[in-house]
Structure 1
Amino acid sequence: MTIATLFRDFLTDRERAPTDRELADLGLSRADFTRLITSKNGTRERMETLAARFGVTPAMIDADFGLALELAETCGHCKCANACQNAIELGVDFDTNRCPNASIYADMSPT
């Protein structure tokens, strides 16, 4: 289950923000929650696309909830997110040197 799926399921049909206790049950702080819900659209797609360039799969990202959260927060607020998203949509390569998660993906790389 991806972080996005977890939140979508958790927040479906809610008329209020989650309580601190509910967030704690999810392993999130209020700050983490705020960063995630204010992330730019396409965060997960960007994460998976850039990770794949290093041989990292979605399952590898999701294997460590804390790491997945860190990657999502960084990607969701990245200054290069628009350029990255445009590259994905146009089907062209995006310079991984511009990705703040690239070093983590490189460390995760199975090769």
Structure 2
Amino acid sequence: MTIATFFRGFFTGRDRAPSELELSDMGLSRADFRRLSTSKAGTRDRMEALAAQYGVTPALIDADRGLALELAQTCGHCQCAKACQNALDLGVDFDAGRCPNATVYADMSPA
């Protein structure tokens, strides 16, 4: 289960924001929660597509929850998200030089 899937499932249909205790249990600050909950649509798909260019699998992304959170926050608010999504929609690789997470994926690369 990805972090994004977990949070969507946990918070879907709730009539209140999570309590400080709930956030603490998940290792999130209120600011982290706001950033994740306001991420652009398709964030996880874009993360996985760019990571795949470096041989990084979803399992590798999710192996370190803190790192996965950072990657999701960065991708979810990226200024290049539209261009990245367009590349995905066209079935072509996105220019990794424009991705703020590219160096992290390169460092994570198993190759």
Same fold (TM over 0.5): yes
Note the C-alpha offset of 1:106. 0.2
Match of 2:22 in 1: 22
Note the C-alpha offset of 1:13. 1.9
* TM-score, normalising length: structure 2: 0.98
Deviations 1:60-96 (A, max 9, x none): 0000000000000000000000000011001122100
Match of 2:55 in 1: 55
Q: What is the number of equivalent residue pairs in this alignment? A: 111
Q: Distance in 2 between matches of 1:29 and 1:100?
A: 22
Match of 2:5 in 1: 5
Q: Distance in 2 between matches of 1:92 and 1:8?
A: 28
Give me the identity figure in percent: 74
Match of 1:89 in 2: 89
Q: Distance in 2 between matches of 1:74 and 1:81?
A: 10
Unaligned runs of 5+ in 1: none
User: How much is the aligned-residue C-alpha RMSD, in angstroms?
Assistant: 0.7
Residues 1:101 and 2:101 aligned together: yes
* TM-score, normalising length: structure 1: 0.98
Q: Distance in 2 between matches of 1:10 and 1:26?
A: 11
> Which structure 1 residue ranges, 4+ long, deviate > 2 Å from structure 2?
none
Residues 1:76 and 2:103 aligned together: no
Note the C-alpha offset of 1:12. 2.3
Q: Secondary structure at the match of 1:10?
A: helix
Q: Is 2-11 or 69-78 further displaced after alignment?
A: 2-11
